[in-house]
Amino acid sequence: MSFLAASLDRVKPSATIAVSQKARELKSKGMDVIGLGAGEPDFDTPDNIKQAAVDAIARGETKYTPVSGIPELRQAIAQKFKRENNLDYKPEQTIVSTGGKHVLFNAFMATLNPGDEVIIPAPFWVSYPEMVSLCGGTPVIVETRQENGFKLTAEALERAITPRTKWFLFNSPSNPSGAAYSHAELKQLTDVLLRHEHVWVMTDDMYEHLVYGDFRFATPAEVEPALYDRTITINGVSKAYAMTGWRIGYAGGPLKLIKAMDMIQGQQTSGACSIAQWAAVEALNGTQDFIPRNRDVFERRRDLVVSMLNQARGIECPSPEGAFYVYPSVKGTIGKRAPNGQSIGSDEDFVSALLEAEGVAVVHGSAFGLGPNFRLSYATSDQLLEEACTRIQRFCGSLEG
């Protein structure tokens, strides 16, 4: 009898975490490595948010909190949804968890039975299908196409829905592609979902505030209010507020689902960190002035990276609408040989040889369910991005065959 659970056989380690760990290991051995694998803003948490945490400590806000979050934060979340998304969630329809990943996991744990299917467009965040599998469900991967901007079409969604479909998992702007759906594009998908009343919508809006140019963010229940009663809207403070380490995610949804998630969380972790929750109150209620400033920096970096990567031989890099990733194709390098003699037969071969030859760490696209591509995070300094892209250009220029 195996000691470990059989469910672990269905799960793979996180490729993004693995790449970051590999980069750290190589750095510790003295190699000059530029790590572009992590999905983490390089900005510091704003001072007003940090001060709110200090003040909470001074007030003695160091005890257990209610499982679903302190009342002040749940109220701030409800106000945020109304203010920014035109969604009316009462505070009791919200939940606070230890990061957005925890919210997703709780929702799946509360709803999935063996045989239940979850539609996940590819490329996808690496944790989505693994969460579904761990919770007993079946991931149904629907590939998108680069020529469609890595966006799911209404026709593809319609084909993927079966009587067993329980959830459609939606992420815009997307990790890893940066693709963001316009109101009109999203309406095409919600029109399909209206015809299938057994399908619920789980929308991961973590990169909501990181959209560029004149793009306007929209979320499914906002676009189609008739889906409100079967939609959970998930967000968090990690990306827009540079609070990855504070570990606060949140959601709004139907009361019966939120109560089920509360019950699971009560047995699993109880409430999120009290100090981080008070910091999140200030994040949502306080000044938002730094968000457009940070967004402008990210947009400049996006344009820099897209331009330089498109000058690399064998790489084609679309310009994404949001997030802080690019997802270039390396199709033009497949079949070539690296200077060390390694054959480039896949995107995983490409990123491995790139790391060895030039010390640039990115994540292979097959880990996100669609290749041959790689994900590069431009959430770092212009100087490092320029150097990294120069190395990628040099590496591509060295390939033979």
Q: What is the pLDDT of residues 359-382, one digit of tens each?
A: 999 999 999 999 999 999 999 999
- In this structure, the answer to whether residues 242 and 351 fall within a common structural domain is no
- In this structure, the answer to whether residues 129 and 156 fall within a common structural domain is yes
Amino acid at position 387, single letter: E
Q: What is the pLDDT of residues 271-301, one digit of tens each?
A: 999 999 999 999 999 999 999 999 999 999 9
Pull the structure tokens for residue 243.
């609070």
For residue 50, is it within any domain?
no
- In this structure, the answer to whether residues 263 and 126 fall within a common structural domain is yes
- In this structure, the answer to whether residues 39 and 144 fall within a common structural domain is no
Segment among 11-25, 43-57, 88-102 with least mean pLDDT: 11-25
How open is the CA angle 221-283-126, to the nearest 5 degrees?
Answer: 60
- In this structure, the answer to whether residues 345 and 219 fall within a common structural domain is no
For residue 208, is it within any domain?
yes
- In this structure, the answer to whether residues 265 and 383 fall within a common structural domain is no
> Domain with 358 in it: what CATH number?
3.90.1150.10
Q: What is 46-106 written as a DSSP string?
A: PHHHHHHHHHHHHTT--S---TT--HHHHHHHHHHHHHHH-----GGGEEEESSHHHHHHH
- In this structure, the answer to whether residues 258 and 177 fall within a common structural domain is yes
Q: Which of 285, 313, 344 is the last residue of a domain?
A: 285
pLDDT band at 401 (very low <50, low <70, confident <90, very high): confident
Q: Chain-wide mean pLDDT for the chain?
A: 96
- In this structure, the answer to whether residues 169 and 68 fall within a common structural domain is yes
Q: Which of 285, 311, 334 is the last residue of a domain?
A: 285
For residue 129, is it within any domain?
yes
> Domain with 213 in it: what CATH number?
3.40.640.10
Question: Please, what sign has the CA dihedral across residues 345, 348, 354, 357?
Answer: negative
Q: Which of 285, 305, 324 is the last residue of a domain?
A: 285
Residue 12 has pLDDT above 90, yes or no: no
Dist. CA 192–CA 385, nearest whole Å: 40
* 307: three-class secondary structure by DSSP: helix
Q: Write out the residue range of the structural domain in which residue 382 sits.
A: 6-44+290-398
**Percent of the chain, pLDDT > 90?**
90
For residue 51, is it within any domain?
no
User: By the 8 A CB rule, do 69 and 277 touch?
Assistant: yes
- In this structure, the answer to whether residues 166 and 232 fall within a common structural domain is yes
- In this structure, the answer to whether residues 130 and 261 fall within a common structural domain is yes
- In this structure, the answer to whether residues 370 and 250 fall within a common structural domain is no
Dist. CA 333–CA 344, nearest whole Å: 7
pLDDT number for residue 90: 98
- In this structure, the answer to whether residues 217 and 77 fall within a common structural domain is yes
Domain count, the chain: 2
Dist. CA 154–CA 150, nearest whole Å: 13
CA distances from 270 to 109, 248, 304 (A): 15, 13, 44
pLDDT band at 256 (very low <50, low <70, confident <90, very high): very high
For residue 56, is it within any domain?
no
Query: pTM for the whole thing?
Result: 0.95
Q: What is the pLDDT of residues 330-370, one digit of tens each?
A: 999 999 999 889 999 999 999 999 998 999 999 999 999 99
